[in-house]
C-alpha cells in the first residue's frame, strides 16, 4: 500500500500492519489446538532431561510452576493487546509501537533469528529421533523427507498450517495424556515388576541436585520448553474472529500448564532419579534416547510403549519446525513493514502467503543437512546458543508493551471499559512477568559463567554458548542507532499510537456490547461464571 508522507515511520508501519493482505483462514478450532499443544515439543520431552539432572525433581516443579505463572500472565497481556490490535506481526510491531524503534528492531530480529535457527535444529532433532529405531539410512534422507513435508504444508497457506498443527497437537496431547495415566500406574506399582515406587527417588538420591545453583540452572531449559506459546498472538491477523477466538485460546494456557507440564513432570521426578546414567549422554539436548519420558517407560520394563513415546517426540520436532516457519515468515513480513528488512521480504501474494519470507526460511532450513558433517552437534550447539535467552526477552517485552498501553490509555483519559478483552492478571501480572524474566536472565549469566560442577574460574566458552543472545542484542541495538539515527530509546506514553489498527471500531458500540455481556454474565449461576473465567 502507498505510504502517507504526512505520517511518521512508526505510524505508517502501524497502518501497513493493520491493512496487511493476510487471509483470515484460521478458525477457532485451529487456534484452540495450537494454544493447547502447539508449543509442546522437544523442550518438554527432551530438555527436561537437562533440568532433572542438574536440579533434581523438586527444582523441576519450582521452575515450571514459576515460569508457568509468568507465561499465563504474559499470554493474558498479549491477548489484551492482540484482540484490540489484530495486526500482522502482533507483538513484534508492538515493541516499536509502545516502546521505541531501536528496541522494536532488536526484538523483531531476536524473534526472527530464534525461529530461523529452530528450523534446521528441529529437522535434525526429528532425524535423531528416528535413529532410536536404529534405521540404517543416511540422515540426509530423513532431513529431506521432513524438509519437504514442512515446505509443502507452509506453501499451501495458513489453512494448511492450521490443519497440520491441529493433527500434530492432537497426537502430542494424546501421548501426554497416555503418559500421565501410565505414569500414575507405574508409580503405584502397576508395572510389569509390580514394584511400588512412590516418592522413593525424592529421598534417594534426593529432591535437589547441586543445591541453589542447580535450581537456578533449571530455569532456562524450563523457559525453552514454553517457547512458541506466543504464536497465538502472531496468528491474530489470520484468525477469522480474533475477538472471540483469541481469549478462548489464551485461557487454555492454564490447562496446558497444569496438565501437560506440571503433572507430567511430577511423574517424571517420581519415575526417574536425577542421577540416572542415561541422562548424562553427551549432547542429550537433542537426543531422544535421553528423554526422561522414554527412560521412565524403558526402566519399567515395557517394550512397545517407548517406541510410541519416541514417535510422539519425532512428531513434536516436526510440529515445532512447522511452527518455526510460520512464526519466522510472519516476523520477516513485520520487519519489512517497519523498514527493518528489504521491502520485497514483505511481499504477500493473492492467497495471503508471505512467499518471499517463506522461501527465505527454507533457504536457511538447508542447514539441516549439516547432520551429515563429522561433528554436527558442535555446529548446532553454537547455532542454538542464540536461542538460550531469546524467548525471555520476547516475553519481557510483551509485558512492557502491555504496561505502556495501559499507561497511555490512562494519560489520554480513557479506560479499560473500551477493551473487548482485558488481562485477568492485570498490570500486576505483567510486572511479575518482567521481574521474573529479569531474575532468570541474571541467574543464567551467573550459572553460565560458573556452571554447575565447574571450577571457580569463569567459563567464557560456556557463557557464550548459554548467553550469546545478550551480545547479539547489543550489536543489533548499536547497528540500528547508527543506521536509522533514531536515539529515542523510550517513547513517552502521551506520544503512543493507541488507535491505528482499530480505526473501524465504533467505541460507543463496543462499550455497549461489553456492558451487555457483563450484565448477562451477572444473571448466570456460579458454575457458568467459573467456566467463562477459565474457558
Highest mean pLDDT among 94-98, 348-352, 480-484: 94-98
CA distance 108 to 503: 25
Q: What is the pTM of this model?
A: 0.88
The three-state secondary structure class of 55 is helix
Identify the pLDDT of residue 469.
86
What pLDDT score does 285 carry?
45
Least confident among 31-35, 132-136, 473-477: 31-35
Tens of pLDDT, residue by residue over 55-65, are 999 999 999 99
525: in domain:
no
- Within a domain: 6: no
Parent domain of 254: 24-452+460-504
Task: Tell me how far CA of residue 496 lies from CA of 99, 182, 411, in angstroms.
Answer: 9, 52, 10
Domain assignment present for residue 29? The answer is yes
How many separate domains does the chain show?
1
Q: Tell whether 295 is covered by a domain.
A: yes
- Show the cell assigned to 147: 524438509
pLDDT computed for residue 407 by the predictor: 93
Q: In the chain, pLDDT over 70 holds for what percent of residues?
A: 84
Do the Cβ atoms of 353 and 157 come closer than 8 Å? yes
Q: Please indicate, yes or no, if residue 67 is contained in any of the structural domains.
A: yes
| pLDDT attached to residue 195 | 81
pLDDT digits (tens, 9 = 90+) for 106-115: 888 888 888 8
Mean pLDDT score, 191-217: 86
Q: Is the pLDDT of residue 364 over 70?
A: yes
535 domain residue, yes or no: no
**Mean pLDDT (the chain, rounded):** 81
Residue 329 lies in a domain: yes
Average pLDDT over residues 344-372: 84
CA angle 246, 441, 119 (to 5 degrees): 55
pLDDT (0 to 100) of residue 284: 38
- Residue 352 is classified by DSSP as S
pLDDT digits (tens, 9 = 90+) for 440-449: 999 989 888 8
Query: What's the pLDDT at 22?
Result: 55
CATH number at residue 196: 1.20.1740.10
* Selection from 214, 208, 219 nearest residue 63 by Cα: 219
CA distances from 397 to 114, 433, 499 (A): 15, 10, 20
Give the residue with greater pLDDT, 184 vs 24.
Answer: 184
Higher local confidence (pLDDT), 510 or 4: 510
pLDDT tens figures, 245-278: 778 777 777 777 777 889 999 999 999 999 888 7
Amino acid at each position: 500500500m502507498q505510504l502517507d508522507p504526512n505520517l511518521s515511520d512508526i505510524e505508517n508501519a502501524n497502518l501497513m500492519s493493520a491493512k496487511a493482505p493476510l487471509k483470515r483462514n484460521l478458525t477457532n478450532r485451529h487456534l484452540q489446538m495450537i494454544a493447547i499443544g502447539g508449543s509442546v515439543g522437544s523442550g518438554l520431552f527432551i530438555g527436561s532431561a537437562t533440568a532433572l539432572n542438574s536440579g533434581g525433581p523438586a527444582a523441576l516443579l519450582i521452575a515450571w510452576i514459576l515460569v508457568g505463572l509468568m507465561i499465563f500472565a504474559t499470554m493474558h497481556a498479549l491477548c489484551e493487546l492482540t484482540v484490540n490490535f489484530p495486526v500482522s506481526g502482533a507483538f513484534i510491531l508492538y515493541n516499536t509501537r509502545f516502546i521505541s524503534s531501536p528496541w522494536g528492531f532488536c526484538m523483531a530480529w531476536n524473534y526472527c533469528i530464534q525461529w530461523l535457527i529452530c528450523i534446521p535444529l528441529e529437522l535434525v532433532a526429528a532425524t535423531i529421533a528416528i535413529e532410536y529405531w536404529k534405521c540404517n539410512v543416511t540422515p540426509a534422507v530423513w532431513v529431506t523427507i521432513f524438509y519437504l513435508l514442512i515446505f509443502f504444508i507452509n506453501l499451501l497457506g495458513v489453512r494448511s498450517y492450521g490443519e497440520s498443527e491441529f493433527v500434530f497437537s492432537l497426537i502430542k496431547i494424546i501421548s501426554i495424556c497416555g503418559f500421565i495415566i501410565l505414569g500414575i500406574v507405574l508409580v503405584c506399582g502397576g508395572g510389569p515388576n509390580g514394584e511400588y515406587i512412590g516418592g522413593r527417588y525424592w529421598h534417594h538420591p534426593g529432591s535437589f541436585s547441586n543445591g541453589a545453583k542447580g535450581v537456578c540452572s533449571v530455569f532456562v531449559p524450563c523457559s525453552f520448553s514454553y517457547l512458541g506459546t506466543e504464536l497465538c498472538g502472531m496468528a491474530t491477523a489470520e484468525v477469522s474472529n480474533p475477538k472471540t477466538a483469541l481469549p478462548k485460546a489464551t485461557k487454555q494456557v492454564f490447562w496446558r500448564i497444569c496438565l501437560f507440564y506440571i503433572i507430567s513432570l511430577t511423574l517424571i521426578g517420581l519415575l526417574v532419579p536425577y542421577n540416572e546414567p542415561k541422562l548424562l549422554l553427551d549432547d542429550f539436548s537433542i537426543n531422544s534416547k535421553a528423554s526422561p519420558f522414554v527412560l521412565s517407560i524403558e526402566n519399567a520394563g515395557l517394550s512397545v510403549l517407548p517406541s510410541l513415546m519416541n514417535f510422539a517426540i519425532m512428531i513434536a520436532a516436526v510440529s515445532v519446525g512447522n511452527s518455526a516457519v510460520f512464526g519466522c515468515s510472519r516476523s520477516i513480513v513485520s520487519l519489512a513493514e517497519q523498514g527493518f528488512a528489504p521491502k520485497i521480504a514483505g511481499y504477500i501474494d493473492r492467497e495471503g502467503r508471505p512467499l518471499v519470507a517463506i522461501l527465505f526460511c527454507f533457504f536457511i532450513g538447508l542447514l539441516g543437512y549439516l547432520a551429515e558433517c563429522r561433528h554436527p552437534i558442535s555446529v548446532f550447539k553454537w547455532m542454538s546458543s542464540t536461542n538460550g535467552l531469546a524467548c525471555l526477552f520476547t516475553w519481557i517485552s510483551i509485558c512492557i508493551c502491555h504496561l505502556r498501553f495501559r499507561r497511555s490509555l490512562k494519560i489520554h483519559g480513557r479506560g479499560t471499559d473500551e477493551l473487548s478483552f482485558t488481562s485477568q492478571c492485570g498490570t500486576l501480572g505483567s510486572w511479575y512477568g518482567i521481574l521474573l524474566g529479569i531474575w532468570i536472565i541474571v541467574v543464567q549469566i551467573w550459572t553460565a559463567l560458573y556452571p554447575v560442577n565447574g571450577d571457580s574460574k569463569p567459563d567464557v566458552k560456556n557463557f557464550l554458548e548459554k548467553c550469546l543472545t545478550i551480545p547479539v542484542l547489543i550489536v543489533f541495538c548499536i547497528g540500528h542507532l547508527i543506521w536509522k539515527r533514531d536515539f529515542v530509546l523510550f517513547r513517552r506514553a502521551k506520544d503512543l499510537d493507541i488507535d491505528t489498527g482499530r480505526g473501524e471500531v465504533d467505541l460507543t458500540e463496543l462499550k455497549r456490547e461489553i456492558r451487555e455481556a457483563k450484565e448477562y454474565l451477572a444473571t448466570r449461576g456460579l458454575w457458568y461464571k467459573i467456566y467463562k473465567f477459565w474457558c
